[in-house]
Every structure is written in structure tokens, then in C-alpha cells.
Chain A
Amino acid sequence: MSQYSVELRDVVKFHGATAAVNHVSLQIHKGEFFSVLGPSGSGKTTTLRLLAGFEQPDQGDILIEGRSMRSVPPNYRPVNLVFQHFALFPHLTVFQNIAFGLEMKRVSGPEVARRVQDALGMVKLTGKERRLPAQLSGGEQQRVALARALVNHPTVLLLDEPLGALDQALRQDMQVELKAIQERVGITFVYVTHDQDEALTMSDRLAVMDHGRVLQVGTPQEIYEAPATAFVANFIGVSNCVSGRITAINGTRCAVIVPDLPEAPVLQARRPASAHEGRTVTLSLRPERLHLSRESGAGGFDNCVPARVEKVIYAGNETQYHLNLSDRVRWMTRVPNTGIDQKPLAAGEAVIIRWNADEGVVLTE
């Protein structure tokens, strides 16, 4: 037995002349909730279809439980897919939809009935087995689609943006529920989405894809805290970026000179994996890690730069400040509205932005 539930080895898939999936290698552990996150056209859906077997890789290999899936058609793979628009059979009842896979596997009648009931219970649809899909709400259809896949006890469950068709409130409920179900059944989930919130809140680990390539693989925290590229930094959450040059390296930190800011300050930041003096880099900062002050000076922080408030957006739980640092650099910060000790800043005010060296991520690409 392999240590991995799913393994992609240097997989390439062409759609016409473009590589939809471009030398992708991934290792997904047993029982892991693994997300593939990327914008449309990033190759995430193609990756999922390669796993399901609807498409065959042009190069490389896919292993499930250590077994090569080369030339294994979908109906012989130990995986099931939850489709983006559910793809429930409209002429079959909820029960018949869920029982479909078991019947194809020639599971005996009483066993089918028992397992369908179990699956219905798990997705909280007991009592609706005689309905047709058209008689169900979007959320209920989603649950049927999930039950139809899980009832087969697949080794890996593939999910193609399964919450994409639901409204916001329902989505958040389903996120929690989906994660709970995954933990209960212990099946490996491979979850494709373009929604960074979904990927961050549900995944054990995730891969960020763009233009057919995997840019970074890691836990949600690793990806958010230490994005590997500017694309990742901006796709996962918001980042304030500015380009500079490394002037000194010292232990776990480095100094970056930023010519685009007034008086070209030298800022302290985390040392990147591949750093040498003189290298051109991008400094990336999360909005919520910046502190604003009316007083001058660093005030105990490692870095400080002056700015002017350009716009103030009150968003209920937080206030967003759009800041003008120079003609070419505009940043954004968020200040949570805690209700204590807050004198809101107004547009046009001069402020000092302060932050610690560890908040500054240096991107070398």
C-alpha cells in the first residue's frame, strides 16, 4: 500500500495547443481534505477530470492508493465525483439517484436500501427519498449529489465547486457541514474551488494553481502567511505589494530598500528561502497586520512609513483605509471595529504605518 491516497506524477494535459495542466505533481494523504484553488482557466477542473478518468493525461501518471490509473475508465476507478451543477438524474427519484452506483455494482437489494438510508441520514434528507430532483431546493439537490457519491464508499471523493450554485448563507452552512461529514467518513476529499474562503476554512492542505501550474502547496496557514509568489499572495486574501532590493541579510531577517517610497526607506522583513544581496524582490504585507498611528516614529515596531488616508470605508465589523504612500504606491489596511479606544481617521489625514519585520514576506519571483 502506498502512503498516498492520490499521487500525480508530472502530469501534462493539452487542450489543443495550450497545456491545461502543465507538469503537475501532487501528493495527497489518506483522509485529507485537499483543495485545489485557482481562478477559471487555471487547470483545476481539468486536474479533477483527470482524476475522475474523463480525460487521460498526455504525459505523466496518476496513482490512486498506489495503483496506476493509466487507461482505467471512470467506471473502474475507486473515486466518485460531486458535479458542479449536481448532475442528478432528473427522471429518477432521490432514492434511485443515490442507489444508482450501488445497483451498477450489483449490490443486493436490502443492502442498497440500508446504505441509501444511511446516506440520506448523513445528509439529513430522510423522508425525501421519493421526490424527484426537480421537487427539491438547491441545497437539498446538493445533499443528494453528495449522498449519491458517498454511498459508494469511494477511496477518494472528488468535488467540483459543489457549493458554487448555492447562495451565500447556504454556502457557509454547507462548508461547515461538508467538513464535518468529511471528518466523520474519513474519506480523502479533493475539492476544487475558486473561492479562497472555502479553501482556507475547510482544507487540511491546498494547492494554488494558475495557468496549468501548481504555484504552492501547503496548509491554509502556510499559504496565507508565507505565499510563495505575488500571484498567491494576491489570490489568497489581499496583499499590499511594493518592489525593492535586498541590501543586507542577517539571520532570519533581511533588509530591503524600497525606492518607490519617499526617501527610499530600508525596511526589515522575513528572509526568503533564496536570498542574496542585490536581488530584486517584492515585499508583501497583509492589510490586517499593519498598524496606523497619528504619532510619528516607529513606536516600538520594526518598520514605519508615512502615508496619507485617501479613503475610509466603514464595513461594519471593520474599517478599511485606503492609503497613499507615494504617487506609485497605494496600500490598504483593515482595522477591526472593537469599539474600544478608537478615534477613526478621516480622509486626508497624515498617518504613520507601522509593522514588525516578521509580517513582511519577501517574494523572490
Chain B
Amino acid sequence: MNAPTSPPPSLESIEQARLGSGLTAPALVWLTLFFLLPLALVLLISFASRGTYGGVEWTFGLGNYLRLFDPLYGQVFLRSLLLAGLTTGLCLVLGFPMAYFIARAPAKWQGIWLLLVMIPFWTNFLVRTYAWMFILRTEGLLNAGLLWLGLIDQPLEILYTDTAVLIGLVYSYLPFMVFPLYAAIERLDRSLVEAAWDLYASGWAVLRRVVWPLTKPGVIAGCILVFIPSVGAFITPDLLGGARSMMVGNLIQHEYLVARDWPFGSAVAFVLMGVVMLGVMAYFRVERADGR
């Protein structure tokens, strides 16, 4: 009796598979060495416990993760997610018109505008954050300007508040929103906008029915690129936010460098990673359900 079998793989396909695995080998080695291995190490440490003098003791348990149920840490997580969410939203609101303007500018101007968006990156991030301290502090540029204009009578207390952190984060990550949005809008066929306009759509309707849905991949990319680094940011909240506005990034930094509690820091880092990954995955699932 002849059971139906699939034909044996041809020599060519075997050859191709071999070639394929050969070509992916460098990437696999790279990922293993520089991504998986360190990550596995952090995961391992997160289950260990802190030694008396700050070392890692290889006695395993769930203690570090259980510690995170303390509402104190919950608050830090919540503040981080909230600030990162607000940052993403503000970057989108500011970045979309910017990207639209650049993408629709004459070709020779586009390069100049993009360069201007990029130029701040040529200066050290720490220095730029210090510059914001000068702008935002009580006797800073912003308050001096507002007082001079007569818009306020008393200097505003912005530095060392969540507002200052938000301003700093939006400033830092706005380019990450502008670039993918620019790419998406630049690709958008201009005649589609004209077609909608011709079909009685107002400016707002053109945006909502045509531009927005067709540039959504860029919006998603931009949001992810802004949200992920802002949720783990630590320099900005450290310098602009002061003691009261601790974010997860500060907590991790504190545990590693100040408290010398590597196992707990690792646990926090892993929980943060899990939360972000779950969030992104949930978002994509909703998106896909929406799309159909």
C-alpha cells in the first residue's frame, strides 16, 4: 500500500536552506552574544538575592518580584507610563504638523528642515538637559521672558515638577516622532489628497479620512519609538524632575548604582520590559481587529 507522502525535498531546496542558514549565521551569533546572553544574565540575576555588601548571592527566589507589589513601586510604574503616554501624545500632536510641513515643502527645503530637526543630536544629551534647567528654573529664560511680556506677575515653578519632566521628554524624543511621520507623509500620493478635496472633503475630513489612515504605519512607528525610550528615561527626570518625580528608569539606576541591589534592579527592568511588550502586543492585536 502506498501512503501518500510529500515528495522528497529537491536537492536545490536543500541547497537553498543550507545557504539561507549560512547567511543568517552572523546575525544569529551577533544576537546571541550581544542580546540574548546579557538578557539571560539579567533574568538570572533578577531571581538571585542581594549580598550583604552589594554583591549578588546565587540563592534563587521570587522575592524581588514580590517586592514590586509595594504600592510605592506601583506608583513609580504608573507615573512612568503616564508621563511616557503624555510624551507620546504631545510628540504626535506637535510632530504631525511639523512632519506634514516638511514633507510638503519644496524638495530643496526638505533637507534643510530635516537637518534642523537633527542638529540637536550633535550636542551631548546631558548638556542639552542642563540647558533646559537654565530655561525652566525660577530665574530662567522662560520666566524672565514671561515676566517681561507682562503675562505673569510671579515666576512659574516649573523646574523640578512633572511638567518639567514632560517638557524635557517631549523635547528629547520629538525627532523620533518626526522622522517616521515624515517618511510616511512624504510617501503619501498628493493626488489622493486632491481627490478627497475634489470630492467635497473639508481640510479636517481630508486629514481624518485619507491622510491619517494612510500614514498610520508611520504614526505607530513614531509612537513606539517615542514611548519606549521615554518610559525608561532616567536622565531627564533625574535632572528636571528632582526627588519627587521618580520614574522607573531612575528606580533601576538607583537600585544598580546607589543601593547596589542588582537583583532587585534586574527584576524591575524585566517587569518594565514585560509591561511595554504586553502593551505593544495588545495594541497591535486591537489594530488588527480594527483593520478587518
Contact = CB atoms under 8 A, between A and B. Distances in A.
A363 B196 CA distance: 45
B199 A73 contact: no
A173 to B, nearest CB: 24
Contact of B192 (A54, A89, A101, A105): A89
A104 B214 contact: no
Given A85-B191, A104-B205, A91 B196 contact: no
A80 B194 contact: no
A60 to B, nearest CB: 22
B210 interface: yes
Contact of A100 (B191, B196, B202, B213): B196
B201 A80 contact: no
Contacts of B192: 87, 89-90
Contact of A81 (B195, B201, B209, B210): B195
A101 B206 CA distance: 11
Interface string A51-73: 01110000000000000000001
Nearest to A54: B194
A159 to B, nearest CB: 12
Interface residues of B, number: 17
A83 B191 contact: yes
A74 B192 CA distance: 14
Contacts of A75: 197-202
Contacts, number: 59
Tell me which of B191, B198, B210, B214 has the highest count of chain A C-beta atoms within 10 A of its own C-beta: B198
A74 B194 contact: yes
Interface residues of A, number: 24
B218 to A, nearest CB: 14
B195 A90 contact: no
A90 B202 CA distance: 19
Nearest to A90: B214
A42 interface: no
Given A89-B210, A91-B213, A101 B191 contact: no
A47 B139 CA distance: 59
B197 to A, nearest CB: 5
B12 interface: no
Interface in B192-247: 192, 194-202, 205, 209-210, 213-214
Given A90-B214, A100-B209, A152 B199 contact: yes
A73 B197 contact: yes
Given A54-B194, A74-B194, A85-B191, A91 B199 contact: no
Contact of B195 (A53, A76, A79, A87): A87
B194 A104 contact: no
Contacts of A81: 194-195, 198
Interface of A: 52-54, 73-76, 79-81, 83-85, 87-91, 100-101, 104-105, 148, 152
Given A75-B197, A75-B198, A89-B196, 7 more contacts: A54-B197, A73-B197, A79-B198, A81-B195, A83-B195, A91-B214, A101-B199
Interface of B: 189, 191-192, 194-202, 205, 209-210, 213-214
Q: Which 8 A-B pairs have the closest CB atoms?
A: A101-B199, A104-B200, A87-B191, A87-B195, A75-B200, A74-B197, A81-B198, A104-B201
